[in-house]
């Protein structure tokens, strides 16, 4: 049984930890609002970009289709781009994204496909390195990035396109977590290459309208598809930041509550042990007095 001094030290230690978790919760709550606004603001642009590409893609077919949209015609080599956070203390946020990517990689390997992995964020790299360390071909470190910008996403997009042009893979899939609410972040896969045309959605939005393009649709797609890849990556990074802050806020709130419960239990144990010690001393005094 721990002594009274040990219990006092442990209560003080848990109280100090509680102050830290409470402060981290407040910081995450302050960052969450800005991150959520940025993520929600990026969604309409990325959706409209997809709709524009889909409308233009309806006018392109066969050999006129850009390589980024037509693909290589094979699906033997898959590139998985896994976006996670740089830091932990955010519950299961990082592990859920890594688990989705890991399950997808296992499925592809079981089918005899070749898998290559590009990681964005240290936590995802650490998790996947245990099982797929030999499959990771590149890593993007975002620890020095104070605020995610389009330049960061564009660098990742250019690297992916360069790998595709070199024939390094056939299909590229992006893994990230879509922000729903503070307590809900949904791990999501998104195919980047070959670029999806989304014909039915585009047809619904066009409502029978006829467009003329200048220059020709193929030239427009050659310019827009690389930008769309960067836009989708940028949206994924913003969604991840909002999801990370939401998950961290929830995790730190739970940690603060657990610390409070532990303090209460330790305080009860301390008081009981102190009372037992006082009672024992009183009994000894009384027994000594009666002996005299």
Instruction: Compute the distance between CA of residue 195 and CA of residue 67 in angstroms, rounded to an integer.
Output: 9
Residue 216 structure tokens: 């020709």
Tokens 């080599």 correspond to 77
Residue 20 structure tokens: 């830290």
Alpha helices in 58-149 (DSSP H): 67-70, 93-110, 122-132
Residues in Cβ contact with 229 at an 8 Å cutoff, skipping those fewer than 6 apart? 68, 157, 160, 161, 192, 193, 195
- Domain 36-247: CATH class, spelled out: alpha beta
Instruction: Compute the distance between CA of residue 53 and CA of residue 211 in angstroms, rounded to an integer.
Output: 13
Give the bridge partners for 171, in sequence order. 78
Reference 195, options 43, 40, 44, 56; nearest CA is: 56
Asked if residue 120 lies in contact with residue 85, where contact means CB atoms within 8 angstroms, the answer is no
Instruction: Compute the distance between CA of residue 66 and CA of residue 193 in angstroms, rounded to an integer.
Output: 11
Domain spans in the chain, listed from the N-terminal domain onward: 4-21+252-291, 36-247
Instruction: Compute the distance between CA of residue 164 and CA of residue 166 in angstroms, rounded to an integer.
Output: 5
* Catalytic annotation, residues: 90
State the pLDDT at residue 245: 92
Tell me if residue 71 falls in helix, strand or coil: coil
10 Å Cβ neighbour count for 179?
Answer: 25
b/e code 210-232 from CB counts within 10 Å (16+ = b): eeeeeeebbebbeebbbebbbbb
User: Domain 4-21+252-291 falls in which CATH fold?
Assistant: Helix Hairpins (1.10.287)
- Print pLDDT tens along the chain (292 aa): 678 888 899 999 999 999 999 999 999 998 898 898 888 888 888 888 888 887 787 777 666 677 888 788 888 999 999 999 988 888 889 999 999 999 999 999 999 999 999 999 899 889 998 889 899 998 988 887 778 888 889 999 999 999 998 888 999 999 999 998 888 889 999 988 887 755 444 445 555 566 676 777 778 888 888 898 999 999 999 999 999 999 999 999 999 999 999 999 999 999 998 898 888 888 888 888 777 6
Instruction: Compute the distance between CA of residue 31 and CA of residue 214 in angstroms, rounded to an integer.
Output: 43
Residues in Cβ contact with 266 at an 8 Å cutoff, skipping those fewer than 6 apart? 7, 10, 11, 14
Instruction: Compute the distance between CA of residue 187 and CA of residue 228 in angstroms, rounded to an integer.
Output: 21
């Amino acid at each position: 049984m721990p002594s009274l001094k040990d219990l006092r030290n442990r209560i003080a230690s848990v109280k100090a930890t509680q102050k830290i978790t409470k402060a981290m919760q407040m910081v995450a709550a302050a960052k969450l609002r800005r991150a959520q606004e940025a993520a929600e603001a990026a969604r309409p642009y990325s959706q409209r970009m997809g709709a524009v590409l889909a409308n233009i893609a309806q006018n392109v077919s066969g050999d006129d289709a850009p390589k980024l949209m037509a693909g290589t015609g094979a699906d033997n080599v898959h590139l998985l781009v896994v976006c996670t956070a740089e830091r932990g203390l955010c519950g299961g946020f990082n592990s859920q994204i890594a688990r989705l990517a890991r399950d997808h990689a296992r499925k592809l390997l079981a089918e005899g496909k070749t898998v290559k992995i590009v990681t964005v964020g240290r936590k995802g790299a650490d998790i996947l390195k245990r099982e797929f360390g030999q499959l990771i071909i590149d890593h993007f470190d975002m620890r020095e990035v104070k605020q995610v910008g389009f330049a960061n996403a564009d660098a990742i997009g250019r690297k992916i396109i360069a790998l595709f042009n070199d024939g390094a893979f056939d299909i590229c899939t992006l893994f990230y977590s879509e922000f729903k609410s503070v307590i809900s972040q949904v791990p999501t896969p998104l195919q980047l290459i070959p670029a999806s045309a989304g014909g039915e959605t585009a047809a619904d939005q066009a409502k029978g309208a006829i467009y003329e393009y200048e220059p020709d649709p193929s030239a427009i797609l050659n310019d827009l598809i690389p930008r769309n890849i960067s836009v989708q990556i940028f949206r994924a990074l913003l969604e991840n930041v909002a999801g990370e802050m939401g998950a961290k806020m929830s995790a730190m709130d739970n940690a603060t509550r657990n610390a409070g419960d532990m303090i209460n239990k330790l305080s009860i144990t301390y008081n009981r042990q102190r009372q037992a010690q006082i009672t024992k001393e009183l009994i000894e005094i009384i027994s000594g007095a009666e002996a005299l």
